Structure 1
Amino acid sequence: MNQISFLWPLAGGLLIGLSAGIYLLTTGRIAGISGLVASTLGLTGSGISKLGLGFLGGILVGAFVASSIARAPNIQVTSSVPLLLVGGLLVGFGTRLGSGCTSGHGVCGLARLSPRSIVATLIFMTVAAATVFAMRLVLGASA
């Protein structure tokens, strides 16, 4: 692993942890992306969250800055649109069913040693591993 490939993930992880910690300390709320999107769009019943909008805007600006400094990834979508739509709907359903997403449970919940988040993260990771196993070994799909 060369120096740049080690530093980017380290810096990204530190910034995610720092921003989630600051958000929790200043608002008393968890910085889960699904919850922030819902509050930014006014779907939580408490009106549109300007702080959530700023947090999400910071994520987008940070991604743009990082891709401007480093080479941008070459992203190729190889799945069909109906498959992507079904996958997106299933992820959205799972997010609502699990009362949060991987960022809320995996980053913030684990840091707080929340039993519900520990279980949710174990389920996320188990399903992810099973999906990779099924796609690679059973169906013969490549990475």
Structure 2
Amino acid sequence: MNKLDVTYHKGLDPQDVVEHFICAFNEKRLEVLNTLWSSPCTFIIKDQIKSYQKYSQAVNFSEIEKEGWKYTKIDSLSKEYSSNKTAIIEFSFSRYNAHDETLSKHTVKHILIKIKDLWRINTLLVIDDNDMGGIASE
């Protein structure tokens, strides 16, 4: 998926929302990220559960860039569960530097809920033990 040219639109399925999320993340478009996530949103990482009113409060791009991050790419994505109002998407992704070298790999689940006919990411559940610096880390 290339540049994100819309902030959000009807018709996206849960997998599309996750792909739009990664695109907006790579472009550091906080207003789009806030639209793709519900309010409040929850992050379950290792033994910590944190909630934020907006996604932009949970992400720290300066911290992520200190690691040399330039972009993120989805490695695999699958729908684990889906109903009319809830979906669970598991995906693996890698963070890369400017030389296309892998900095880290992660596997996570996004729990999405449908609000007013729009799918929104509600919860991030980190499955692996890798530190995901810059996300819900404060």
TM bucket normalised to smaller: under 0.3
Which structure carries more helix by proportion?
Answer: 1
TM-score (norm 2): 0.27
Q: What is the TM-score with the length of structure 1 in the denominator? A: 0.26
Largest Rg, 1 or 2: 1
Higher strand share: 2
